[in-house]
Amino acid sequence: MALDYYKIFVEMGERHIELTKQQKTVEVELAKLTETIQHIFKMLTPAQQRKAQKVIERIEGPKGGLKQGVVMALRASSNDWLTPPQIRDYLKNIGFDFGTSGSGGLASIGTTLKRMVPEEVEAKTVNGGQMAYKLRGYSEITVGDTVLTFLEKLQNLGGTP
């Protein structure tokens, strides 16, 4: 009996789509969880921060460039269209360093986003004529259970992760 390579191809293609969706869901969840952990870390006492330093370094990973920061912001708000100022505010909140940029990174964010269209992000005009952006393939992904579980565990442990 001959192998039906086309059937195998179709099945593997379907599995690939399934795994890609799972991957995107995990990436969105990780972005939101990372943001929550970073905010909680800032609320710890200096002694607690020293204890948790290795954990936060592992979670934050190596410092990436602006494009990685923009992608992280878009993943954290996967169902929303974000404008460059909203992305800038997100990046400032998580401690992203824009260096000596006179515009607070806004011009660089806009340029980065324009380079990512249309392959990586979708763009549309929103109220007031401003451009807003969303990662391609990440719509309809909702996350929150892991973040809520983490916060509940944190609360049950008396503030210690």
77-134 pLDDT tens trace: 877 899 999 999 988 887 777 766 666 788 889 999 999 998 889 999 998 889 999 9
For 82, which DSSP code?
B
More confidently predicted of 97 and 61: 97
145-149 mean pLDDT: 57
Residue 157 above 80 pLDDT? no
Q: What is the pLDDT of residue 148?
A: 57
Q: Looking at residue 38, what is its pLDDT?
A: 84
How distant, in Å, are the alpha carbons of 81, 91, 126, 146, 158 from that of 123?
8, 19, 10, 29, 43
Residues contacting residue 80 through CB under 8 Å, at least 6 positions apart = 134
pLDDT of amino acid 85: 93
Residues 84, 130: Cα–Cα separation, whole Å = 9
Domains delineated in the chain: 5-156 (1.10.10.10)
CB–CB of 141/24 below 8 Å?
Answer: yes
DSSP 3-state of 141: coil
Query: So what's the pLDDT on residue 48?
Result: 92
Are 157 and 42 in contact by the 8 Å Cβ rule? The answer is no
Q: What is the pLDDT of residue 152?
A: 60
Residue 153: predicted pLDDT: 61
The 10s digit of each residue's pLDDT in 1-58 is 788 888 899 899 999 988 888 887 887 788 788 888 888 988 999 999 889 888 887 7
What pLDDT, on a 0 to 100 scale, did the predictor assign at position 161? 46
